[in-house]
Amino acid sequence: MSNIVKKVYFDYPAETSQDAIEFLSDKAVKLGIADDRDAVLKAFEEREALGPTGMTRGFALPHAKTNAVKEPAVVVVKFSDKVEWKALGTTPIRAAIAIYVPEDDAATHLAILSKIATLLMDADFCEKVMDSTDDETIAALIEKGLA
Protein backbone atom coordinates (compact mmCIF):
# COMPACT_ATOMS: atom_id res chain seq x y z
CA MET A 1 0.00 0.00 0.00
CA SER A 2 2.76 2.45 -0.82
CA ASN A 3 2.00 6.03 -1.86
CA ILE A 4 -1.54 5.78 -0.55
CA VAL A 5 -1.31 9.15 1.23
CA LYS A 6 -2.31 11.56 -1.52
CA LYS A 7 -2.14 14.90 0.29
CA VAL A 8 -1.70 16.61 3.66
CA TYR A 9 -3.51 19.90 4.27
CA PHE A 10 -2.67 22.34 7.06
CA ASP A 11 -4.66 24.95 8.98
CA TYR A 12 -8.08 24.22 7.48
CA PRO A 13 -10.64 26.34 9.39
CA ALA A 14 -13.38 23.73 9.89
CA GLU A 15 -15.74 24.27 12.82
CA THR A 16 -17.69 21.01 12.62
CA SER A 17 -17.24 17.49 11.33
CA GLN A 18 -19.66 18.39 8.50
CA ASP A 19 -17.34 21.23 7.39
CA ALA A 20 -14.44 18.79 7.44
CA ILE A 21 -16.10 16.00 5.45
CA GLU A 22 -17.37 18.48 2.85
CA PHE A 23 -13.79 19.72 2.43
CA LEU A 24 -12.51 16.13 2.20
CA SER A 25 -15.18 15.26 -0.37
CA ASP A 26 -14.23 18.27 -2.53
CA LYS A 27 -10.56 17.35 -2.33
CA ALA A 28 -11.23 13.73 -3.31
CA VAL A 29 -12.40 14.89 -6.72
CA LYS A 30 -9.71 17.57 -7.12
CA LEU A 31 -7.00 15.01 -6.30
CA GLY A 32 -8.43 12.42 -8.70
CA ILE A 33 -9.29 9.96 -5.94
CA ALA A 34 -12.99 9.99 -6.83
CA ASP A 35 -15.18 11.20 -9.65
CA ASP A 36 -18.33 12.20 -7.71
CA ARG A 37 -18.09 14.65 -4.80
CA ASP A 38 -21.69 14.09 -3.70
CA ALA A 39 -21.29 10.30 -3.58
CA VAL A 40 -18.16 10.67 -1.42
CA LEU A 41 -19.93 13.13 0.87
CA LYS A 42 -22.90 10.78 1.20
CA ALA A 43 -20.57 7.89 2.08
CA PHE A 44 -18.84 10.01 4.75
CA GLU A 45 -22.21 11.17 6.15
CA GLU A 46 -23.62 7.63 6.26
CA ARG A 47 -20.56 6.42 8.13
CA GLU A 48 -20.70 9.33 10.59
CA ALA A 49 -24.37 8.49 11.26
CA LEU A 50 -23.37 4.97 12.38
CA GLY A 51 -21.19 6.24 15.22
CA PRO A 52 -18.36 8.57 16.06
CA THR A 53 -15.23 8.55 13.92
CA GLY A 54 -13.57 10.97 16.29
CA MET A 55 -10.88 9.09 18.18
CA THR A 56 -8.63 9.93 21.09
CA ARG A 57 -5.53 12.17 21.04
CA GLY A 58 -7.25 14.76 18.85
CA PHE A 59 -7.72 12.69 15.70
CA ALA A 60 -10.77 11.77 13.65
CA LEU A 61 -10.81 8.85 11.24
CA PRO A 62 -13.60 9.49 8.71
CA HIS A 63 -13.93 6.93 5.96
CA ALA A 64 -15.87 6.75 2.73
CA LYS A 65 -16.52 3.51 0.88
CA THR A 66 -18.22 4.19 -2.45
CA ASN A 67 -18.05 3.28 -6.13
CA ALA A 68 -17.13 6.92 -6.81
CA VAL A 69 -13.66 6.18 -5.37
CA LYS A 70 -11.26 4.93 -8.06
CA GLU A 71 -8.49 3.57 -5.82
CA PRO A 72 -7.76 3.40 -2.09
CA ALA A 73 -6.35 6.64 -0.75
CA VAL A 74 -5.69 8.57 2.45
CA VAL A 75 -5.82 12.36 2.91
CA VAL A 76 -4.78 14.14 6.09
CA VAL A 77 -6.11 17.50 7.19
CA LYS A 78 -4.85 19.39 10.21
CA PHE A 79 -7.28 22.03 11.44
CA SER A 80 -6.50 25.61 12.42
CA ASP A 81 -8.47 25.13 15.66
CA LYS A 82 -10.40 22.40 17.47
CA VAL A 83 -13.33 20.92 15.54
CA GLU A 84 -16.68 19.86 16.94
CA TRP A 85 -16.81 16.14 16.20
CA LYS A 86 -18.54 13.21 17.89
CA ALA A 87 -15.65 11.31 19.40
CA LEU A 88 -14.83 8.27 21.49
CA GLY A 89 -12.48 10.37 23.60
CA THR A 90 -12.84 13.79 25.15
CA THR A 91 -9.90 15.47 23.41
CA PRO A 92 -10.93 18.11 20.85
CA ILE A 93 -10.35 17.01 17.26
CA ARG A 94 -7.38 18.80 15.67
CA ALA A 95 -6.68 16.51 12.69
CA ALA A 96 -8.46 14.00 10.46
CA ILE A 97 -7.00 11.07 8.60
CA ALA A 98 -9.56 10.34 5.90
CA ILE A 99 -9.79 6.98 4.17
CA TYR A 100 -11.30 6.56 0.71
CA VAL A 101 -11.95 3.06 -0.65
CA PRO A 102 -13.95 1.63 -3.58
CA GLU A 103 -17.26 0.04 -2.51
CA ASP A 104 -16.23 -3.49 -3.51
CA ASP A 105 -12.85 -3.45 -1.73
CA ALA A 106 -13.88 -4.34 1.82
CA ALA A 107 -10.62 -6.16 2.60
CA THR A 108 -8.49 -3.10 1.79
CA HIS A 109 -10.90 -0.85 3.69
CA LEU A 110 -10.61 -2.96 6.83
CA ALA A 111 -6.83 -3.29 6.49
CA ILE A 112 -6.27 0.47 6.18
CA LEU A 113 -8.78 1.27 8.92
CA SER A 114 -7.24 -1.26 11.30
CA LYS A 115 -3.67 -0.12 10.69
CA ILE A 116 -4.47 3.57 11.10
CA ALA A 117 -6.53 2.89 14.24
CA THR A 118 -3.50 1.02 15.61
CA LEU A 119 -1.25 3.98 14.74
CA LEU A 120 -3.62 6.29 16.63
CA MET A 121 -3.10 4.23 19.79
CA ASP A 122 0.62 5.08 19.63
CA ALA A 123 1.23 8.32 21.55
CA ASP A 124 4.59 8.88 19.81
CA PHE A 125 3.01 8.62 16.33
CA CYS A 126 0.20 11.01 17.31
CA GLU A 127 2.61 13.53 18.80
CA LYS A 128 4.83 13.46 15.71
CA VAL A 129 1.88 14.03 13.36
CA MET A 130 0.39 16.79 15.51
CA ASP A 131 3.73 18.57 15.90
CA SER A 132 4.83 18.28 12.27
CA THR A 133 4.40 21.09 9.77
CA ASP A 134 5.91 19.05 6.94
CA ASP A 135 3.58 17.13 4.64
CA GLU A 136 6.25 14.65 3.56
CA THR A 137 7.04 13.74 7.20
CA ILE A 138 3.37 13.12 7.99
CA ALA A 139 2.84 11.09 4.82
CA ALA A 140 5.93 8.98 5.56
CA LEU A 141 4.77 8.26 9.13
CA ILE A 142 1.42 6.99 7.85
CA GLU A 143 2.92 5.08 4.90
CA LYS A 144 5.31 3.31 7.29
CA GLY A 145 2.38 2.29 9.49
CA LEU A 146 0.46 0.97 6.51
CA ALA A 147 3.37 -1.08 5.16
- Read off the pLDDT of each residue in 42-68 and give the average, rounded to a whole number: 92
Taking only the tens place, the pLDDT of each residue in 3-31 is 899 999 999 999 999 999 999 999 999 99
Q: Name which residue leads in pLDDT, 90 or 33.
A: 33
DSSP 8-state symbol, 103: T
CB neighbour class for 55 (10 Å; exposed up to 12, middle 13-18, buried from 19): buried
Q: Report the pLDDT value the prediction gives residue 2, as an integer from 0 to 100.
A: 59
Cα distances (angstroms) measured from residue 56 to each of 44, 68, 108, 126: 19, 29, 23, 10
Give the pLDDT confidence of 80-132 residue by residue, as tens digits: 999 988 877 667 899 999 999 999 998 889 899 999 999 999 999 999 999 99
The domains of the chain are located at 5-146
- pLDDT score at 91: 72
| 5-146 topology per CATH | Mannitol-specific EII; Chain A (3.40.930)
Rounded to 10°, the helix 135-146/123-131 angle is: 160
